[in-house]
């Protein structure tokens, strides 16, 4: 917000916000990111400006702040090259690193990007992988040639819908515990693993405040909770207890982010005004979504009670000129193949902007950032589809036809339920789709922040130009709901 108030552009503000988050070990972006199969940190990042122009880098090694490289690529893409060559707007791997070096950006050793927690995760995952491969080898050795092993039976027959759901839930839980499923990673070694034992020893040997892991603490603590306490349907509701969080109704009726069922003259359902600046400058930050799993490093005495953010990050900003920009950054999934490109590097999947039409009297534009299961998000073109839904006030109707919808809350729910989860490529996949989406709609009369997620948790913060402090929300999925939504509106004063 300091950047915006000092006259910085929206893209500069997005870069600054994401750079701060990349430097924090608790996020899966920049320093402390997940490691690939060979122990290399490879990051993804994107920045999109108000015209829809983008700069992106994917699977780039040795870069401390990949969002800065994405911003550099965006800036350079607007400068003409000799012989009418077209400058790139996305670079990957060694080419992206060489581009950074050629343009004076600092390149750091791989070890400089690896945090203690990331190294612990990597060592544990290596052990898990070796054990799994050894079990598979032994199973194949015991069975006659041509007979299928247990590990691949589920892919050879089509299970019933109930069996498929059970398999998905089982895979979902196992993925949460092993930490190699999607962009947001559980940061916790399993009990009994060498990494956890080492962490326990460190915790007992050093009890100073500086030795504690960074985390966000819930306002109210709960009683004893299972390691799968955040795994939705995996634990019976009667056995689950949650810390107190700002639920949807509390968010919608809170003093700083209110939604009332008031109708605009255009028929939309609008939240009540909150204080806003004369030239509204706003920035909203997405700090990822937990895939129904614990999202933090913890010692043996910290297995319960606290909420932690460990995930892909994104940001949306609007500057003094009313220009909107968005960006995202991620370290990708754990134990990924070298060169794997995640959604944070792909425009229209992790980040999207629908520019303002010059003839539109309302000056409407929309920016969206997403986090979740990257491959499913790529299949559905998640961020672009959501941005277009909000921009055009449509949702998917019967027979797959678009129908008009003026309730943005319904649009966000329909996007996750129908456009994402209902997509054949997600619905018929063996892994469950997880997504959290944040979108900002900018109009002549106000700025609207909407979010929705089907994950267990989703952390957001927003701030308007006249706000004294950010409005922070740790949104939780309800016990009986499949999608949680929320919103905030910031007024734009068009007076003198």
Distance CA 386, CA 352 (A): 9
234 Cβ contact list (under 8 Å, min separation 6): 169, 172, 173, 228, 292
Is residue 61 within 8 Å of residue 88, measured between CB atoms?
Answer: no
CB atoms within 10 A of CB 219: 10
Q: Are 43 and 36 in contact (CB under 8 A)?
A: no
Burial zone of 245 (CB within 10 Å; 0-12 exposed, 13-18 middle, 19+ buried):
middle
In the block, residue with structure tokens 């997504």: 435
Task: Using alpha carbons, select from 224, 236, 384 the residue that is nearest to residue 301.
Answer: 224
Which candidate in 180, 282, 312, 351 is catalytic? Answer: 312
Going 285 to 311 to 168 to 347, the CA torsion angle's sign is positive
Residues 6+ apart with CB under 8 A from 292: 172, 176, 230, 231, 232, 234, 434, 455, 456, 477
- Is residue 368 within 8 A of residue 446, CB to CB? The reply is no
CA atoms within 13 A on the CB side of 271: 26
Is residue 312 part of the annotated active site? The answer reads: yes
Alpha helices in 109-210, H assignment, sequence order: 116-142, 161-178, 194-205
Number of H helices, E strands in the chain: 12, 17
Active site residues: 312
């Amino acid at each position: 917000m300091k950047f915006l108030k000092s006259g910085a552009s929206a893209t500069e503000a997005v870069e600054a916000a994401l750079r701060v988050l990349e430097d924090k070990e608790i996020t899966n972006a920049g320093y402390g990111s997940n490691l690939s199969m060979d122990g290399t940190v490879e990051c993804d990042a994107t920045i999109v400006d108000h015209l829809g122009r983008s700069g992106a880098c994917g699977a780039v090694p040795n870069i401390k702040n990949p969002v800065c490289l994405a911003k550099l690529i965006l800036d350079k893409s607007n400068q003409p090259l000799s012989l009418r060559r077209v400058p790139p707007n996305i670079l990957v791997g060694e080419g992206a690193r060489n581009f950074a070096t050629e343009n004076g950006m600092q390149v750091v050793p791989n070890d400089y990007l690896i945090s203690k927690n990331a190294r612990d995760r990597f060592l544990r995952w290596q052990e898990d992988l070796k054990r799994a491969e050894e079990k598979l080898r032994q199973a194949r050795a015991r069975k006659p040639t041509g007979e299928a092993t247990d590990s691949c039976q589920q892919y050879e027959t089509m299970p019933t819908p109930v069996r498929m759901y059970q398999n998905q839930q089982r895979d979902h839980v196992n993925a949460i515990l092993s930490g190699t499923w999607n962009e947001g990673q559980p940061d916790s070694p399993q009990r009994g693993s060498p990494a956890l034992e080492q962490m326990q020893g460190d915790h007992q040997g050093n009890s100073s405040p500086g030795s504690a892991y960074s985390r966000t603490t819930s306002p109210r603590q709960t009683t004893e909770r299972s390691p799968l306490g955040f795994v939705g349907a995996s634990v019976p509701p009667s056995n689950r207890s949650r810390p107190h969080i700002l639920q949807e109704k509390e968010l919608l009726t809170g003093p700083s982010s209110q939604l009332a069922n008031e109708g605009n003259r255009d028929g939309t359902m609008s939240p009540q005004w909150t204080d806003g600046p004369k030239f509204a400058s706003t920035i909203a930050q997405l700090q990822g979504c937990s895939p129904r799993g614990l999202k933090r490093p913890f010692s043996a005495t910290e297995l319960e009670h606290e909420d932690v953010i460990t995930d892909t990050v994104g940001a949306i900003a609007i500057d003094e000129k009313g220009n909107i920009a968005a960006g995202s950054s991620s370290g990708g999934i754990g134990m990924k193949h070298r060169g794997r490109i995640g959604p944070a590097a792909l425009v229209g999947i992790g980040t999207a902007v629908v520019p303002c039409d010059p003839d539109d009297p309302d000056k409407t534009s929309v920016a969206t950032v997403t986090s979740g299961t990257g491959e499913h998000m790529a299949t559905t073109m998640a961020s672009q589809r959501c941005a277009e839904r909000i921009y055009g006030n449509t949702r998917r109707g019967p027979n797959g036809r678009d129908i008009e919808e003026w309730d943005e809350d319904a649009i966000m729910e329909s996007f996750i339920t129908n456009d994402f989860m209902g997509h054949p490529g997600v619905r018929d996949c063996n892994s469950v789709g997880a997504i959290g989406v944040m979108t900002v709609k900018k109009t002549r009369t106000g700025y609207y922040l909407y979010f929705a997620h089907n994950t267990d948790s989703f952390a957001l913060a927003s701030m308007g130009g006249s706000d004294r402090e950010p409005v922070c929300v740790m949104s939780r999925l309800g016990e009986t709901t499949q999608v949680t939504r929320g919103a905030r509106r910031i007024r734009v004063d068009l007076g003198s």
